[in-house]
Chains A and B, each alone.
Chain A
Amino acid sequence: MDIGSNVTPAPKMKSPTLLRKSHRKIIISYIILTFLSLPLFFMYLWLFLSSISSEMVAGIIPKQITFENWRFLWENVEVGSRQLPSIWLATWNTLLLAGGLTIIEVIISVMAGYALSRMEFPGRTFFLRSVILLHAFPSVALLIAVFYVLDTLGLIDTLWGVMLVKAALQIPMSTYIIKGFFDDVPWDVEWSALIDGCNRIKAWYQVVIPLVKPGIAAISIFSFLAGWSEFLLLYTFIFDDQNITLATYLQKIIGDFQMVDYGLLTAAGLFYMLPVIFFFIFTQKSLMQMNMGGNKRV
C-alpha cells in the first residue's frame, strides 16, 4: 500500500507510521469534540423524546408515544385555571418583534457603521469606544429607568416599546461589527465610484453596500435571533395577553402553577426552538464570515 493513496486512514493499519501525523491530529480532535458535545446532544434528544411521550423510563426512554403534549397547536391550552392565548398569536407577535427589531437595527447600524468607518467628525473615536462600553452595559440595570421612559412615552405594554428598547441595546454591537466590514472595503473602490459620477450617497448604496452584504446578513441574523429569544424586556414591560410572545408563553406554562406540565413545556419549548435551529443551519455560512476586525480604525 502506498502512502499517497492513504486518504482516509484506517485505524487498524498494521504499521502505525503509515498513519500520518495530521490525520492523527484530526481523529483526536474529533474524539474530544464528540465527547464534549455528547451532553448537548442528549439534552436535545431528551427534549424531543419527552415532548412526544407521556412518561419516560430511566429519564430517557419513552414509554408511550403521544401527541397530547402538542395539543397547544390546535387548541388554547389551560394552565391551572387560566386559559392561555393561542400559540399562533404568540408566534406572530414574536415574528413581528424579531422582524421589526432586525429592520430597525440593520438600518441604523449600517449607517452608523459607515460613518464610524469612513467619515471624519469630532468625537468619532469617543463614539467608537463608547459603543463597545454600551455593549458591555448590563441591561438589567436599566430596567426601572426604561420603565419610566416607556411609561411617559405611552409605549409601555406595547411590542413597539420593547422593540425600540431592544434595538437601542443591540445597535452598539452590530454597529461595531458592520464597521469592520466597511473598513475592509478599499477606499479606491469608493473613490472610483465618485469619479464615475456618483455622489457620496449613490456610491454608498451602489458600490459600498453590495460589498458589505455578508456583514449585513450577519447582523440581520444576529438581531433576528436576539429578537426571537428576547425574554426579560417582554416579561417586564408587557402585561396584556394580546401581546404575548413565545418566550412569555413558555414562562406562563411554567410560572403560574405549582405543578408544571413538563410534557407541554418541552413540546412548546421545542416549537419555540425549531425555527432557530433551521434558521441557523441555513445561515451559518453568513455567520461564519463575520470577522470581528472592527478595530482597524480606532
Chain B
Amino acid sequence: MNIRFEQVSKQFSNHMAISDLNFTIQDGEFVCLLGPSGCGKTTTLMMLAGLYQPTKGNIYFGDQVINHLEPKDRNIGMVFQSYALYPHMTVRDNIAFPLKQQKVPKKIRYGRAEKTARLVRLENYLDRKPSQLSGGQQQRVALARALVKEPNLLLLDEPMSNLDARLKIEMRDELRQLQKQLKITTIMVTHDQEEAMAMADRIAILDRGEIQQFDTPEQLFAYPKNVFVARFLGNPPMNFLDAEIIHELDGMIVHGEGYHFYLQKQLHIPNKTKITLGIRPHDLQVVSERRGIFSAVVTNIEHLGREKLLSATMGEQPIRFFVSNDQKIKYGDRIYLSPNLEAIHIFSKETGENLLWSREVSYEQVEGKTGLI
C-alpha cells in the first residue's frame, strides 16, 4: 500500500503548520521525518493517523482517498511523543489492548502481548502499572502496543528519545529487522539525525511545514539541496564560509575573505554572485603552507578516540575539521587547510539553494541516468 500526500495543508486557527505537502511513500518503506522542533512532524503523523483532518489536499492509501477514514479503520500502530499509555491498566493489558478491540480471545492476546513484550525486553514488567516504570520502559510499552497488532502502517513519534545509548542501538536494530521482516510501512519522527541515517530507507527533511528534501541518507549527505539540509545533517555540522564567484575562462574562482581558489566547474550564475561555501569537516585536510588554501588558528581540540576534532578561526569565521591522532597540533598553532574540491558545496547566499546540485541534476538528465533525484 503506497501512501501519497497530494497538496496537503494543515492550518491551526491562524497558524499554517503544514503547507502543500507532496510526497509518496512506497509499500514497506521505512521513512524518517527529520526537522527542528515545531516544523510539523507530529502534525503530519496525526493526519496520517486520522486524528487531524487536512485543511486542504488529499491523503491516499493506495489509490483511495482516506481523509475522512476513522483512525480505528486504518489499521495503524502509533507511538505518541508522550507515550500515551493507559495509566489504569497493567503493562500486559496495555499491550494487549489493540487486540482486545479486535476481539482476539484472551489467551491468544495475552500470548501475543507477552511475545511482543519480550521483543522490547519488558517481559519482567508485565504486571506493573505504567506509573511504576521509568521513561524508557514506558516508551517501550508504547512501542510494543503499536507493534502487537502487526499494523499496515506504523507511525512512530520519537519512539526512542528516552532510551539510553546502548538500548537505543539495540532497539534500532530490532525495530529495523522487524519492520523488514513484516514489511510494515513505517514513518518515524526523530530529532536525532544519526538515528534517521541509521534506520531510514529515505529521510524527509522538514522545515516550517515544508519538505526541504526527501531522499536516501547517502544522497542527502552528498547532495544537500539547500543550506538548511546541509546544516541539519552531519555531525559535526558542515562548515559555512561566505564567498563570491568570479567567472574565469573555463571555470571560476571562489573568492572569500583571506582565501581564493580555482574551481574547474561552470555555473550559470552572474559574475560576482555572493555564495555560501559549504565544506564538511571530513573534507578538510591539514597541508603545508604552500599548498594551503585556508589559513587558521587552532582554538580547540577534542579527542574523539580514533581521531581529533579541531576548531579553528579564520579571521572571524570558525572552521572545524578532523586530524588523525598522530598529528601534533597544539592550541594556538597556525595551520593551513585544503578542501577536497570534489566534495565542496556552493549555495546561493540569497536563496540558500545548492547551485552545484542543480547543475548535477541537469547533468544527470542529459546523461539519461536515473537515481539522483
Contact = CB atoms under 8 A, between A and B. Distances in A.
B251 interface: no
Given A197-B102, A198-B101, A192 B72 contact: no
Nearest to B101: A197
B84 A186 contact: yes
B329 to A, nearest CB: 51
B71 interface: yes
Contacts of B80: 188, 191-192
Contact of B88 (A188, A197, A198, A210): A210
B338 to A, nearest CB: 52
Interface string A193-227: 11111110010000100110100000000000000
A243 to B, nearest CB: 41
B86 A195 contact: no
B86 A192 contact: yes
A5 B70 CA distance: 62
Interface in A53-109: none
A189 B80 CA distance: 9
B54 interface: no
B88 A192 contact: no
Contacts of B83: 188
Interface in A143-191: 186, 188-189, 191
Contact of B72 (A186, A188, A194, A210): A194
Contacts of B70: 194, 199
A189 B51 CA distance: 12
Interface in B30-53: 49-51
A211 B81 CA distance: 20
Given A194-B51, A195-B76, A196-B145, A202 B82 contact: no
B84 A197 contact: no
26 contacts: A186-B82, A188-B84, A189-B84, A189-B86, A189-B87, A191-B51, A191-B71, A192-B80, A192-B85, A193-B86, A193-B97, A194-B50, A195-B49, A195-B72, A195-B76, A196-B97, A196-B98, A196-B145, A197-B149, A198-B72, A198-B101, A199-B70, A202-B101, A207-B86, A211-B87, A213-B88
Interface of B: 49-51, 70-72, 74, 76-78, 80-88, 97-98, 101-102, 145, 149
7 cross-chain pairs, A with B, having the tightest CB-CB distances, nearest first: A197-B101, A188-B84, A196-B98, A192-B84, A194-B71, A210-B88, A188-B80
